[in-house]
Amino acid sequence: MENTILVTGGAGFIGSNFILQWMAKERASVVNLDKLTYAGNLRNLEQISSDTRYQFVHGDIVERKLVGSLLERHGPRALVHFAAESHVDRSIRGPDDFISTNVQGTFSLLEEARAYWIGLPEGDQAAFRFLHVSTDEVYGSLGPDDAPFSETTAYAPNSPYSASKAASDHLVRAYYKTYRLPTLTTNCSNNYGPYQFPEKLIPLMILNACSGKALPVYGDGQNVRDWLFVEDHCEALRTVLERGKPGESFNIGGGEEKHNLEIVEIICSILDDLRPHDPVVPHRKLITFVKDRPGHDRRYAIDCRKIERIQGWKPRESFESGIRKTIRWYLEHEAWVNEVTSGSYRQWIESHYAT
Ligand code: NAD
Ligand code: DAU
């Protein structure tokens, strides 16, 4: 086995943050397998693209032959699986790709990882890890007074996206229980930070506010999410990979529950200070309530005492500090923003918010 990890979906939001952090803090090489869907962007990894420890492979995780050949060729000590269709609204409009990538793709990776792992010498078998990066959405929706999701909360997914992620989690669990493939699963809350595609709440609101466009809040704006700065999520994943026991799952969250309207108002007030000459100021004048998302989960909250206790992990960033960093990042990366907000992005925004 080589001192290499195989990452899937490393050109997306969390995957690219993870690879950048990994290259700065760890010694092992990285092979990044990514299909480069609309959400994948190699610009995110420009600063490490010529590093000899990093290699990009353009391809689909569903293709078993490709996955098998990468495992054989690179002999990784771990597979870190981010690749997914990740946007709930897109899953409502067209679930097919979610089933293909999230369910079939995870199955392909598990089968090929199992074949590779069986062929490893005993010591390498014990050291190998399959880390499956999943979401808190698999647990469904909480009422206002319910206890936060723990690792033992029953699964109750409500969207095609979360159902496809739940299916993938079950497959991962089964591969540990049945074959003893050394898997780890993490279920994380909403991430925010640099390189997030602006179809998601926080970057969408930052960019719309700066250009004087409506800030579309679904329903009554009272849905609650638990926000975590992406670099804290990446640190948690490195910790779990290093110290997690096979077959375990860990919930990861920021302990920062906020309703959507509050998030949008915070963004508006920071922008009022940073950009007093934007087309519409105060920015909150742009807030517009729009039709709700079907099956919209009311509240997510994460109990992350297990990872704190067993792994000693805690988020470094508060929402207050993380959101300021994030807003600054979007303001300072105009070229990145212009590139991702052209073409198919515009079509999505036009069709989704027209109805
Ligand atoms: P993203 O949509 O930004 O990126 C997904 C990446 O996967 C892209 O680079 C895309 O090109 C790639 N990809 C898609 N289909 C592929 C395929 N068939 N083969 C190879 N590559 C493919 O997603 P993200 O927000 O970075 O999320 C990464 C993972 O973390 C997902 O599994 C998601 O479910 C999970 N997660 C996300 C959040 C969040 O708040 N964003 C929170 C918890 C968990
Ligand atoms: O909880 C983890 C999940 O967080 C991840 O598994 C998903 O991959 C990730 O996309 C995210 O899902 P959400 O649906 O919570 O994120 P999104 O940014 O799409 O929406 C956040 C909240 O904001 C949600 O309650 C819907 C609302 N919203 C979203 C958009 C895009 C709006 O009110 N208006 C909008 O325009």
Give the DSSP per-residue string, 70-139: HHHHH--SEEEE------HHHHHH--HHHIIIIIIIHHHHHHHHHHHHHTS-HHHHHH-EEEEEEEGGGG
Residue 91 lies in a domain: yes
Considering its fold, how many domains does the chain have in total? 1
Say how many Å lie between the CA of residue 264 and the centre of ligand 1: 24
Q: Locate tokens 């290699």: which residue? A: 55
Residue 84 lies in a domain: yes
Q: pTM score, two decimals? A: 0.98
Residue 202 lies in a domain: no
The residues annotated with a catalytic role in the active site are 136-137, 161
CATH at 76: 3.40.50.720
Atom of ligand 2 nearest to the CA of 296: 25
Mutate to test the pocket of ligand 2, among 162, 190, 355 (most ligand atoms within 8 A of CB): 190
- The pLDDT tens digits of the residues spanning 132-185 come to 999 999 999 999 999 999 999 999 999 999 999 999 999 999 999 999 999 999
Q: Which has the closest alpha carbon to 213: 261, 110, 285, 161?
A: 285
Residue 293 lies in a domain: no
Quote the CA–CA distance of 288 and 284 in Å, as a whole number.
Answer: 9
Residue 28 lies in a domain: yes
Q: 114 with 179: CB under 8 angstroms? A: yes
Q: 226 with 300: CB under 8 angstroms? A: yes
Over 80: is that where the pLDDT of 355 sits?
no
Say how many Å lie between the CA of residue 106 and the centre of ligand 2: 23
Distances (CA, A) of 113 to 22, 128, 131: 22, 10, 11
Residue 326 lies in a domain: no
Instruction: Please give the pLDDT value at position 130.
Output: 99
Tell me the mean pLDDT in the region 258-270.
98
Given pLDDT bands bounded at 50, 70 and 90, which one contains residue 343? confident
Residue 39 lies in a domain: yes
Instruction: Please give the pLDDT value at position 110.
Output: 99
Instruction: Count the residues in the chain.
Output: 355
Task: Look up the domain containing 248 and give its range.
Answer: 4-192+228-255+300-320
Tell me the mean pLDDT in the region 90-107.
98
Strands 4-8 and 29-34, by their bridges, are parallel
